[in-house]
Structure 1
């Protein structure tokens, strides 16, 4: 059965996390993704911890791809890239805004070669505005987007998230959406286009509910750790247990809160669910009760109650959870490459009934497909060897 993106060729210039995760999603659904790497390989290959000589993290975002090593600063390297663009559908660029333009390989140049090309540039702050050329990482985009200020406990400092929200949700996922939208538009117009995806923009868009709550309220800024969904209320909170592990209650709806209180014999707290002045008293009472059992004992205690109550799992617990396994959301590669280490990769999160994605665990070495792909655009073996001697590929 053909996958949805079979026949779509993507030239991937990205590195580290945001772009590679985006193109991995495209690859899982059938796109031919070709990593264009400098001859020594993209920098994401060398982030610790290493498995043999390659980053463990590299393997989690670069499956199902091919690799071509190519020096884009060399005139012949540029010529090769342009030939590849002539037969490609998508270019994903994760450099700062003007890097590819200075190389003569930006969108305006490439669309002259291939008017159907979809050029997605994924940057921190976008192609417009006073910060277009500023350096940044996930923490900076979240800070500028106003997200970091909201994370943490009451009275504490802004907290750092354990995952890269702006990089992945704001960058990777929106790049995939942009590319798919541009492909759909091209199907109607026959023309490609420039996709300007900024991780700051994506992070701001994730604040939709929070902005609505703030701007539609009395004008007060949200209190860190003090709002309904951030720890200010007993009904939606984390609780420490006897064994120092934690559980979470997400009983926003009154029926779930009532079920929780009744199970604990705390019926007097039911009408206090959203009474702000009572939250300290209610939370303190529940905290003391939660300390009387271990996390897993509480999970068993509430196992027959449909109240949005779950344990907070560690990563090693998550990868063994029956729901995670049933959804095929982790793939454990035992004794990966003879290293003695088991590498865990995430599964395909989008489940399609007719054309499901495939998490094939194929990982290209640096430039593994250079000869194959250069021959496909007209280069002979002797020419390729000469290019290799000159450090072009």
Structure 2
């Protein structure tokens, strides 16, 4: 059997997370993904290197790809880029809108010569609106979108950004969905199109439970934002005062119930998700509370459950709650999850033998197919390992490839166990 994207060629102009992770998922599904890196490599190659130009952050977002190194700002690279786009079904780019236009990777330029192309763009703020040209990274867009505050984690009263890059990965998944839809549309119409995803939109998507405005009950917002909030800030009000003023207006704000949250236990913590009436009844029976009380005041229920659950271990509570089908789980760290038997059985982790960094374990395939497997094929590529082969495939002669390397428009790897590039060797 072949993957659902077998026969699709993707050319990726992407660094960091959103576009590379989307490209990795497409490679898992059988697509050929040619990653175009700058002359000094993807930025993640130098993040806590395990070997020269190899890091875990690069390895876990770029498996199954080919690496071609080009200087997109070099005049001799433009023809190579056009030839690459010519063999592509999909081009993925995460640059600012200005950089996209400067490199000739915008839809207006590409579609004139390649009308069947699907162009997937990721940027911080999108391609329209007053902030479209601003640079943006995950932490910035989590802050701008309200997600950072909504997640609730704080350090000394300041919202804390963890290493969980929510906007980046949500953006990658939205891009994967959008590009897949565009490929389906192309099958019907014969025409490609641009797919535009912003990290701002991705961060807002993650807040969909709270992201609504009903005029009848939320009409206070306009006055609060335009008048009350600026006045409080002029008066020097702190975050607690401002949050209290905002909360006073919210007559139907969404709150977690006392039986859908995390509780401490005698040796750790567990999450309890009794979200439906039947599970609430079963939870009430286990903890010895009348179900009417369990569905009562959330704060009272939370305190009562917290007092009870802390008296026994996580394993004891999980055994008892799962016996009556109440959703629950121990709060774990990744150290435990990486070796979890169920995670292994579902293929959510995969092992790789990397020629430079050795054996490693990483995320497997989170999407499962019945007939068209999505499988991690091979580890991430060495820097510029495929430059020569791909350029020759595009019709360039060996002399032309050497000319591009001498001019600095391209970088290619020197054969050998460490895959040292010409540029690296000459500067050593």
> Same fold, TM exceeding 0.5?
yes
Structure 2 counterparts to residues 40-189 of structure 1, below 5 A: 40-48=40-48, 50-51=50-51, 53-152=53-152, 158-169=159-170, 171-189=171-189
For 1:249 and 1:377, the matched residues in 2 are separated by: 56
1:376 matched to 2:399? The reply is no
For 1:216 and 1:262, the matched residues in 2 are separated by: 41
Secondary structure class of the residue paired with 1:54: coil
For 1:227 and 1:378, the matched residues in 2 are separated by: 67
Structure 2 counterparts to residues 1-393 of structure 1, below 5 A: 1-48=1-48, 50-51=50-51, 53-152=53-152, 158-169=159-170, 171-212=171-212, 215=214, 218-219=217-218, 232-243=256-267, 245-267=268-290, 270-275=291-296, 278-333=297-352, 337=355, 339=357, 343-393=360-410
The CA RMSD measured in Å over matched residues stands at: 2.7
- Verify the 8 A CA contact 2:126 2:197 in the aligned structure 1: yes
For 1:153 and 1:81, the matched residues in 2 are separated by: 44
Question: Could you report, residue by residue, the CA deviation over 1:181-212 in whole angstroms, capped at 9, with x for unpaired residues?
Answer: 11111112212112111111122233333234
For 1:345 and 1:153, the matched residues in 2 are separated by: 26
Secondary structure class of the residue paired with 2:283: helix
Runs of at least 5 residues in structure 1 that lack an aligned partner in the other structure: none
Runs of at least 5 residues in structure 2 that lack an aligned partner in the other structure: 222-245, 411-428
Q: How far 1:299 sits from its partner (Å)?
A: 1.9
Secondary structure class of the residue paired with 2:210: helix
Question: Could you report, residue by residue, the CA deviation over 1:102-130 in whole angstroms, capped at 9, with x for unpaired residues?
Answer: 23343222222211111111101100001
Q: How far 1:230 sits from its partner (Å)?
A: 7.9
Secondary structure class of the residue paired with 2:316: helix
Question: Could you report, residue by residue, the CA deviation over 1:210-250 in whole angstroms, capped at 9, with x for unpaired residues?
Answer: 234x63884388969x999987421111011112x110111
Q: How far 1:48 sits from its partner (Å)?
A: 2.3
Secondary structure class of the residue paired with 2:270: strand
Deviates more, 1:313-322 or 1:6-15: 313-322
The answer for the alignment partner of 2:415 in structure 1 is none
How many residue pairs are counted as aligned between the two chains? 383
TM-score (norm 1): 0.89
Q: How far 1:57 sits from its partner (Å)?
A: 1.0
TM-score (norm 2): 0.82
* 1:227 to 1:69, Cα distance in 2 relative to 1, 3 A: farther
